[in-house]
Amino acid sequence: MTVQQIRLFGEPVLRSVAEPVTAFDRELRSLVKDLQATMRAGTGRAGIAAPQIGVPLRVLAFDFEGKSGHLVNPRLELAERKIVADEACLSAPGQWWPLERSYAVTARGRDMFGKPVTVRALGTLARVLQHEADHLDGVLFIDHLPAEDRKRFLTTSA
């Protein structure tokens, strides 16, 4: 297991739609372990998606307040209720923006062995899962910001 370099905003892999995983093999398990190692290599890292380490596959990992795991080919069901909270991204160091997300999610997918997994999450963990699942579609958290904030983001990150 290897701590991988985090890809930063501007790199094309973060804007591409990741491919579904079809082989639950040793390579996939090694990817999951790299994601977990890279996530745990820094403080305050609650989640990571494979495109963030340059791998265009639908895999994410999370670790927040004792609830940790990974999801392969996740599908999210979002609750109606939304809340606003500050959000950040490993791929945009130092940027925090208030963002509206669903308060609760049910995420269904598979684990690295191909076994079906369901993760139910509230609050911050629900936010993390939405943020990481977005990465699999090439969507970045700033895409959800009002136009005015996005403009400020683009200015400050340049």
11 flagged as catalytic: no
| Total Cβ atoms within 10 A of residue 11 | 14
Closer of 21 and 89 to Zn ion (Cβ): 89
Tell me the C-alpha to C-alpha distance, in Å, between residue 130 and each of 9, 74, 88. Answer: 18, 10, 12
- Establish if 6 lies at the interface with Zn ion (CB under 5 A): no
Question: What is the smallest separation between the CB atom of 132 and Zn ion, expressed in angstroms?
Answer: 7
Q: Which stretch binds Zn ion (CB under 5 A): 4-12, 66-74, 88-96, 115-123?
A: 88-96
Residue keyed to tokens 């999210």: 76
The amino acid sitting at 85 is: A
- Establish if 89 lies at the interface with Zn ion (CB under 5 A): yes
Question: What is the smallest separation between the CB atom of 28 and Zn ion, expressed in angstroms?
Answer: 21
Q: Which two tokens stand for residue 148?
A: 């005015």
Question: What is the smallest separation between the CB atom of 9 and Zn ion, expressed in angstroms?
Answer: 9
DSSP class of residue 64 equals E
17, 138 Cβ separation under 8 angstroms = yes
Residues with catalytic annotation? 132
Interface residue list for Zn ion (CB under 5 A): 89
